[in-house]
Amino acid sequence: MTFMERDAPVVDETIRALAKTKFVQDPMAGLKYSRATGIIRSAYKRHGRTLETALRKLTREQQAA
């Protein structure tokens, strides 16, 4: 099983959560660009959770071997 096959559910859940998130509108950027910037900024922050989950799974797999 590849990394993406194993961890796709975590990535998919992160994307679903970002799609539902409400972002404050920046008066200079407008609604469209405020939302796009908010999603990208949040994705970078949540990327750490995805990596942490992958590292935990990999560590467990190596310990079991």
Looking at residue 3, its pLDDT comes to 67
Token code pair at residue 47: 């990327």
Number of domains making up the chain: 1
Q: Give the H/E segment covering residue 45.
A: helix 30-64
CA–CA gap between residue 37 and residue 34 (Å, rounded): 5
pTM of the model: 0.60
Matching residue, tokens 């467990």: 60
Token code pair at residue 64: 């079991």
3-state SS, residue 1:
coil
- Please give the residue that has the higher pLDDT: either 28 or 64: 28
50 band by pLDDT with thresholds 50, 70 and 90: confident
% of the chain exceeding 90 in pLDDT: 23
In this predicted structure, the answer to whether residue 5 has a pLDDT above a threshold of 90 is: no
Provide the domain limits for residue 44.
Answer: 3-64
